[in-house]
Amino acid sequence: MRSNTFLKLVALATLALGFVKAADDLPIYTDGALASGWENWSWSSTIDFAATDLFVGTSSVSVTSSEWAALSVKLEGTFPTYAGLRFDIAGAQPDLTIMIQSSTDNAQSPSIPLSAFGKTISPTGFTSLLIDFKSLPGTGSPLGDGTWDRITFQAGGSGATYHLDNIVLVSSIVVAPQFLSAEPFANNVIAVTTAGPVDLSAVKVTLKGAPISISGKTTYSPPDTPAKSITYFNLASSLGPGPLVITAGNTTFNYTLPAVQYGSIVQSVNYPINPHVYGVNFPKSASYIQTLGVPMSRWGGNAVTAYNPFGGFTNAGNDWYFENRASDSADDWLGWVKGAGSASMLTVPALDWVSKDASSYSYPRTQYPDQKAFDPYNSDAGNGLFPNGSYLSPSPDPNNAYTPWNTTLVKKWLTGLKNKPTIVTIDNEMEIASNTHQDMHPSPMGYDEELSRVINFATAAKEALPNVLVGAPSTCSWWFYWTSSIGYTDNAAHYNIDFLPWFLGEMKKQEAKSKKRLLDYLDIHYYFQADTSSNNATAKATRLRATRSLWDTSYVDESWVGSDPQNHQWNPTAVSLIPRFRTLIDQLYPGTKLSIGEWSSTNDNDLTGGLVTADVLGIFGKYKLDAATYWATPNELGPVGLAYWLYRGAGNFFGRSSAQVNLATPNPDTQGVYAGTEGGNTLSLVIINKNPNSPIAFDMSNVPAGNYLLRHFGGGAGLVKWQTTISIKNSQYLVIPAYTALFLKQTP
Ligand SMILES: *[C@@H]1O[C@H](CO)[C@@H](O)[C@H](O)[C@H]1NC(C)=O
Ligand SMILES: *[C@@H]1O[C@H](CO)[C@@H](O)[C@H](O)[C@H]1NC(C)=O
Ligand SMILES: *[C@@H]1O[C@H](CO)[C@@H](O)[C@H](O)[C@H]1NC(C)=O
Ligand SMILES: *[C@@H]1O[C@H](CO)[C@@H](O)[C@H](O)[C@H]1NC(C)=O
Ligand SMILES: *[C@@H]1O[C@H](CO)[C@@H](O)[C@H](O)[C@H]1NC(C)=O
Ligand SMILES: *[C@@H]1O[C@H](CO)[C@@H](O)[C@H](O)[C@H]1NC(C)=O
């Protein structure tokens, strides 16, 4: 092994001679077998290292992995500082994620989905892909230093079949200087993204055929993703409608800037935004909370129903073969979350059992030999289904995996917490326990059982922690807002009153009986119902429109909700979520707050998911929601994380109060416009252009001239935390590029 000192001396010597001699590439696989020094650390996969059905040279690697299984290769030693990983791949667009890992300290690179390369993979021929360790596909973040020694190609939940060939760690990658995008922003800015050492003096701008002179420029390279830079060129005059041509070296970027839409902002008409609407589930770390400005953190999800605080165990339920595992301590979690500046929403288990240890499971093969599936990592743990898909019977003994749980134990736990939660919710999606936790609660939960569990556990929580606020019943979706797992016969047994309206009325009656309020937040989970899983252009546009379901009483849901709503509510084909629940609360239990403990953009990896999130965060503030936490943890560098950063990043926040926005021609299908203010005199604006191809422009009254912090992501500039300070000369022409979320905030 060469020492670092030796490498440095070689580097100095070669630099002194004016050239750098590249080290050799390190082959991992060429033909026949793994190259020497590489070990096969794969699992649950059928792998042929000498496949001859499709190959370059004499053979290739053929891989068939079952769900979540992987081809994984490990070097005997660590990678020296290679520049990247190149490989050839063939397959029918296999569902694969690539990770660089360290077996020394278990460090792991961000997951790189095959889709992040933006190339179509063919089943009949190889496509060559390159991972640049300075700019990983997807996030653009660098791999960074580490004791890297392992490369894993992991299949998704449906497995994957593919071929690989010519896998090699490359010693150098030459980044050709390149102008990647050039887009108009705000009143008088052209933002140009670049890779490598480009000639910035080669940028020229013409509007309606006439050159516009450039009065200055600022270059910014984001610390998280330094491989790309952006340069903001200030124009000597304002942008305006007409053809805009930006030439940058040998690349031309053309736009047709549109006519303005008229609008005005009224900062004096405002009301407070509850910062708790910018929450997430399970933030990764204190620095995550601070970087994204997360003011509310939730401990929730299916696994926390069986959380046993006395042993530090939990059970995955039907998310993963009803298996127990060790859990972090909720008390420690509450402590560090609070230390980072976030309030907390803690789930209190409210069924009759919690996990008894870190290793048991409910459906051992030894007891139930005939099951549909077994854990690929533990062939004795089954999924609780007969091969035909129906639930196993008889139900398993809950003592297989669990120990009894009740309100006495809840009081003991909560009383003993060193760190107190802000809000507790009574379990999680209890109404579907007969599915998610069929092993311990096989019978469908009805109205009466759910109400009594909420009352008993909320009483216990408030006895243990007199100042805690209680949220319930954390119902999973639109269907179960209105009925139970028993079905509409349960509604009929309750005067045909739909579930949540009935629940609110009962909790109000209970307050009179208990002489105190047991329900502070009506907590619901909300998932957009339209099927956008194809993620094609139609699906993306639907995803972007669906944010209207949060507020718009005239938006007929583009899903089964819009055609077959079943419930007994008014205007039932329009979800209009926040106004609808405000009305129900005002009618049935006034004073109750409204929280959304889980929601999702429906696509955490696509730019449109980030634009949806930016729109939704604007809507939550504007429509006075009390709290919300994203499911699950947004990747800080992914589209959803970028939307949180846009509003809250690094201590620069969207206004504390929501200010009035008046638009002459509102177009919520393709635009979101939100204004915030601090005390009526510091304006912040978020504008989302959901149109994939065309810029939009506003003539917006009461946007004062002066300096603004500009942040943006999306569009040609891509998924990066871009920001700068700009000077707006006038607000008669403010442009937002296609598929872009933009934030502006007045700076002193
Ligand atoms: C590599 O590992 C996989 C998964 O354990 C195994 O099926 C395969 O036979 C191994 N191949 C070789 C050549 O060792
Ligand atoms: C454009 O310019 C870049 C950088 O100077 C160069 O690498 C590239 O080859 C040029 N492309 C064309 C099509 O001329
Ligand atoms: C952009 O516009 C210029 C000037 O009108 C024209 O010469 C050029 O062909 C256009 N380029 C593209 C890619 O449309
Ligand atoms: C599924 O298989 C089980 C066990 O063989 C059987 O008892 C059950 O009736 C079957 N269910 C259906 C819907 O066929
Ligand atoms: C809860 O379980 C404990 C231990 O079995 C028992 O002592 C206690 O009485 C139970 N509490 C309730 C409310 O049933
Ligand atoms: C998008 O996918 C859906 C569902 O597969 C399909 O019905 C629709 O035609 C597709 N639209 C486009 C534009 O490809």
- SS3 for 727-738 is EECCCCCEEECC
CA distances from 464 to 75, 231, 744 (A): 54, 56, 45
What residues flank ligand 5, with Cβ below 6 Å?
A: 404, 406-409
**CATH 3.40.190.10 applies to domain 4-170:** no
State the burial class of residue 702 (Cβ atoms within 10 Å of its Cβ: 0-12, 13-18, 19+): middle
User: What's 428's DSSP letter?
Assistant: S
Dihedral sign (CA 531, 533, 534, 537): positive
Residue 1 is predicted with a pLDDT of 32
Q: Give the type of residue at 502.
A: W
Centre of ligand 4 from the C-alpha of residue 384, in Å: 13
Centre of ligand 6 from the C-alpha of residue 609, in Å: 18
- Closest Cα to atom 4, ligand 1: which residue? 43
Concatenate the DSSP letters of all residues of 74-86 into one string.
Answer: EESS---S--EEE
pTM metric for this prediction = 0.94
Tell me the C-alpha distance between 273 and 659, whole Å: 10
Helices 407-416 and 447-464: crossing angle, nearest 10°?
Answer: 30
Best residue among 36, 47, 49, 64 to mutate for probing ligand 1's pocket (most ligand atoms within 8 Å of CB) is: 47
- Closest Cα to atom 12, ligand 1: which residue? 40
Tell me the C-alpha distance between 416 and 410, whole Å: 10
Phi and psi at residue 228, to the nearest 5°:
-115, 145
Ligand 1 atom nearest 33 alpha carbon = 13
Residue 207 is predicted with a pLDDT of 98
- Closest Cα to atom 1, ligand 4: which residue? 388
Tell me which fold the domain 178-269+658-746 belongs to: Immunoglobulin-like (2.60.40)
Q: Of the bound ligands, which one is closest to the alpha carbon of residue 242?
A: 3
Tell me the C-alpha distance between 590 and 579, whole Å: 14
Centre of ligand 1 from the C-alpha of residue 41, in Å: 8
- Closest Cα to atom 3, ligand 6: which residue? 534
- Closest Cα to atom 14, ligand 2: which residue? 250
Centre of ligand 2 from the C-alpha of residue 250, in Å: 6
Centre of ligand 3 from the C-alpha of residue 254, in Å: 6
Tell me the C-alpha distance between 540 and 542, whole Å: 5
Q: Of the bound ligands, which one is closest to the alpha carbon of residue 537?
A: 6
Residue 407 is predicted with a pLDDT of 98
Centre of ligand 6 from the C-alpha of residue 532, in Å: 9
CA torsion angle 492 493 496 500 (round to 10): -120
Centre of ligand 6 from the C-alpha of residue 62, in Å: 31
Domain with CATH 2.60.40.1180 in the chain: 178-269+658-746
- Closest Cα to atom 1, ligand 3: which residue? 254
Centre of ligand 1 from the C-alpha of residue 63, in Å: 10
Nearest to 529 by CA among 472, 597, 473, 577: 577
| Token pair for 436 | 């998610």
Q: Count the alpha carbons within 13 Å of 705 in the hemisphere toward its beta carbon.
A: 6
CA distances from 336 to 289, 293, 330, 332 (A): 10, 15, 10, 6
pLDDT profile of the chain (748 residues), mean per 10: 34 34 83 97 97 95 96 95 97 97 95 94 97 94 95 96 98 94 98 95 96 97 95 97 96 97 97 98 98 98 98 97 98 98 98 98 96 93 97 96 98 98 98 98 98 98 98 98 98 98 98 98 98 97 98 98 96 98 98 98 96 98 98 96 97 97 98 95 97 98 97 97 96 98 96
Q: Of the bound ligands, which one is closest to the alpha carbon of residue 63?
A: 1
pLDDT digits (tens, 9 = 90+) for 507-542: 999 999 999 999 999 999 999 999 999 999 999 999
Q: Are strands 378-382 and 242-248 parallel, antiparallel or unpaired?
A: unpaired
- Our answer on whether the CB atom of 530 is closer than 6 Å to any ligand 6 atom is no
Ligand 4 atom nearest 389 alpha carbon = 1
- Our answer on whether the CB atom of 177 is closer than 6 Å to any ligand 2 atom is yes
CA distances from 682 to 463, 646, 703, 707, 729 (A): 43, 17, 10, 11, 17
Tell me the C-alpha distance between 178 and 584, whole Å: 56
What residues flank ligand 4, with Cβ below 6 Å?
A: 386, 388, 390
- Our answer on whether the CB atom of 176 is closer than 6 Å to any ligand 2 atom is yes
Q: Are strands 203-207 and 402-404 parallel, antiparallel or unpaired?
A: unpaired
Residue 5 is predicted with a pLDDT of 33
- Closest Cα to atom 2, ligand 1: which residue? 42
Q: Of the bound ligands, which one is closest to the alpha carbon of residue 182?
A: 3
Nearest-5° Cα angle at 568, 565 to 571? 65
Question: E strands within 395-520?
Answer: 402-404, 423-426, 469-475
Looking up tokens 């270059």 gives 219
Centre of ligand 2 from the C-alpha of residue 177, in Å: 8
For residue 561, the SS3 value is helix
Those residues whose C-beta lies under 8 Å from the C-beta of residue 186, and which sit 6 or more positions away, are 708, 710, 726, 728, 734, 735, 742, 744
Centre of ligand 5 from the C-alpha of residue 408, in Å: 6
For residue 717, the SS3 value is helix
Q: Of the bound ligands, which one is closest to the alpha carbon of residue 205?
A: 3
State the burial class of residue 197 (Cβ atoms within 10 Å of its Cβ: 0-12, 13-18, 19+): exposed
Nearest-5° Cα angle at 333, 286 to 107? 60
Ligand 6 atom nearest 536 alpha carbon = 1
CATH architecture of 276-355+401-528+575-637: Alpha-Beta Barrel (3.20)
Nearest to 387 by CA among 367, 374, 377, 373: 373
- Closest Cα to atom 5, ligand 3: which residue? 245
Q: Of the bound ligands, which one is closest to the alpha carbon of residue 392?
A: 4
- Closest Cα to atom 2, ligand 2: which residue? 250
Q: Of the bound ligands, which one is closest to the alpha carbon of residue 543?
A: 6
